[in-house]
Structure 1
Amino acid sequence: MKEPADDVVDSFRRWVAMPVEQARCPVRDVLDRLGQKWATLLIMALAERPRRFSDLQRLVPDISKRSLAQALRNLEEDGILTRHVFPTKPPSVEYRLSPLGRSMLAPLAALIAWAEHSHDAIRTSRSRYAEGTAPDLARGGTGVR
């Protein structure tokens, strides 16, 4: 029976075997944007319903206007969300997930569940690493990387 790790290994081998200009590694290309600081939170906020800029800023209060605008532009450029301008005075703008953006909600939900489940273990590991008590040190390693 094929394990999920087998698919990861197969994909990696296929991409590294391609010439760099041909491969344009899908993982690096796509996840570069989706892995940006605010992208996942904005996608999560838009999963429920379309939202205006000010709504998104309220939902993610520690994001600056400039960072929010840039993150929305990036997600729009990638086709993850759409921007709708309503002909009102002043113009009203609403953001919503595109069909492509909606198609990533199931894999994103799995990643979110993993992050929630693993968060404490990761924070503990970070603390141990910072203290110099990470598992490799306990086994006699030098801690030098």
Structure 2
Amino acid sequence: MFTGLFRHNVSILIERVHTLTNVSEKTLWGNAAYTCSATYDLLRECSDSEAVQVDYQTLLQQPHSPVMPARNPLYNLMRRETLNEPGLPHEIEVRSTCCLYAFIPPYITKCSNCPLLKPNERIAMLKAELAEVT
């Protein structure tokens, strides 16, 4: 299933969006990697299945994945960052590429997992987000 999805759909979509917009393919694949990662976070909440972890590793943590047409373009686009801050998660996942959301008017705020944020900015943003929820 993943082979068809990525080889015959996602890779073609990313290539076409890149051609039409000139947004780098790495940025577009970074957005796909984030979406996959967020989906697997939700799956982990519902299941302790080893298959969920194996799929995650196959899609995001292997430089050569059997579901990709060539080198895995999702590889190394998400990284774990340790936060040593009380009240916040011990680790969060951070993008390797900016999604460009903050550069599309009228938005001016970077995402909390943006690689352009400094660690102290990320912590302040996460604390503000947590305060809004509680």
> What is the TM-score normalised by the length of structure 2?
0.30
Task: With the length of structure 1 as denominator, give the TM-score of the two structures.
Answer: 0.28
Q: Which has the higher helix share?
A: 1
Query: Which of 1 and 2 has greater Rg?
Result: 1
The answer to which structure, 1 or 2, has the higher relative contact order (CA under 8 A, 6+ apart) is 2
